[in-house]
A and B are shown apart, each in its own frame.
Chain A
């Protein structure tokens, strides 16, 4: 039996996050990052957006996107630092920092989307 390891799960989460980021991020980022601020399209009113975000399905989908996208980031950025800057000696620190950020972000996302909203 293969030795118990976390790396395969980190990779699965990275892949799932890569798919989520590819599917959901372009349109959301285009709308809220460029189209609304530049006035190409008028931004939704506050009640409309509150209504949309408060829907249980929106909360679940957005939470899924946030958590998986952060795990995607943590995995990829860890290897970018590891190989790009040749920091093999600091693997542990880099891993802890990257996944630490992802976990903190995920907790914040869960709090905001499930409780605060």
Chain B
């Protein structure tokens, strides 16, 4: 056979820029990945708190006032929702990514996920006890 084929042999569809809108599971995936932005926002918020507390009672009060601004409260509510999405997806995927063995036997997924939630409950209770007193 000689000559160059008139057209490319296969038709390749260009992936759409909106591929993550095409399927519910893809959209959930992108939302899960975007939770990282709100994790970063939390770090910023925490550092602002540390800065305010270190700066004295007055600056701490003004931090509390600005945290009570409806826009900030709204942002933090959205951030908390995304962080919860992160927690649920992260814990659910752990047994798949990291099989745990005890004495040669594979630990059931439910036990791994359950102990992660238990750890979350313990850490949360301890943090709340420290902060609220």
Contact = CB atoms under 8 A, between A and B. Distances in A.
Pair from one complex? yes
Interface in A15-32: 17-19, 21-32
Interface of A: 17-19, 21-34, 36-38, 41, 43-44, 46-50, 52-53, 62, 65-66, 69-70, 72-73, 75-77, 79-80, 84-86, 101, 105, 108-109, 112-113, 116-117
B64 A43 contact: yes
Interface string B70-85: 0011001101100110
Given A26-B84, A46-B57, A112 B47 contact: yes
B119 interface: yes
Given A33-B79, A38-B73, A72-B39, A105 B44 contact: yes
Contacts of A28: 42, 46, 127, 131
Interface string B42-67: 11111101110110110011001001
Interface residues of B, number: 52
B39 A26 contact: no
A29 B83 contact: yes
Contacts of B87: 22, 26
Contacts of A22: 86-87, 90-91, 116, 120
A30 B131 CA distance: 12
B36 A76 contact: yes
Given A26-B120, A27-B128, A31-B132, 12 more contacts: A26-B87, A28-B42, A29-B45, A29-B79, A32-B67, A34-B80, A38-B68, A48-B133, A65-B46, A72-B36, A77-B36, A116-B51
**Residue among A33, A52, A85 facing the most chain B CB atoms (10 A cut-off):** A33
A112 to B, nearest CB: 5
A112 B80 contact: no
A34 to B, nearest CB: 6
A25 B44 CA distance: 12
B53 A50 contact: yes
Given A29-B80, A112-B50, A21 B60 contact: no
B30 A80 contact: yes
